[in-house]
Every structure is written in C-alpha cells, then in structure tokens.
C-alpha cells in the first residue's frame, strides 16, 4: 500500500520539514515516484522504519538504566 505525505504525517506524528530533514540525513525511507509530479511512501517501508526506531529506543533505554542483559 502506498501512502501520501498528508497520510504519512498523521500516521507517524512528524511534520513534513522533519521528514525531509530525516530523509536528507538518510534516516528515513525514500518515497517512490508515482507519476512525474506525485510521490508516495510504501507503508511497509514506514512500518519497518517505525519498528527499527522503537527497537533503537528500547536498547538505548536499557543501556541508560545500566542493564547489561535482557531477560
């Protein structure tokens, strides 16, 4: 499924400028070209990005607390 920018900002809670900055840094999926003037994002790419971000946050919280192991 492909989602457009308006749907994307509502889905992930980030503004268009923030998404653009993340893309410029290579920290966000690239859109796919739908036509000469239209782009969209694969929902599967966005879902993977969200899972990755959540996993990174969880790991950093473990290290911040000083936990050396995961049960």
- In this predicted model, what pLDDT tens digit does every residue of 29-52 receive, in sequence order? 999 999 999 999 999 999 999 999
Domain ranges of the chain: 2-65
- In this predicted model, what pLDDT tens digit does every residue of 1-15 receive, in sequence order? 999 999 999 999 999
Least confident window among 9-13, 17-21, 30-34, 61-65: 61-65
Three-state secondary structure readout of the chain: CEECHHHHHHHHCCCHHHHHHHHHHCCCCCCEEEECCEEEEEHHHHHHHHHHHHHHHHHHHHHHHCCCCCC
């Amino acid at each position: 499924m492909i989602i457009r920018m308006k749907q994307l900002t509502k889905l992930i809670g980030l503004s268009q400028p923030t998404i653009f900055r993340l893309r410029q840094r290579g920290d966000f999926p690239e859109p796919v070209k739908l036509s000469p003037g239209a782009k969209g994002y694969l929902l599967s790419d966005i879902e993977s990005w969200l899972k990755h971000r959540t996993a990174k946050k969880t790991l950093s919280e473990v290290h911040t607390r000083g936990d050396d192991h995961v049960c």
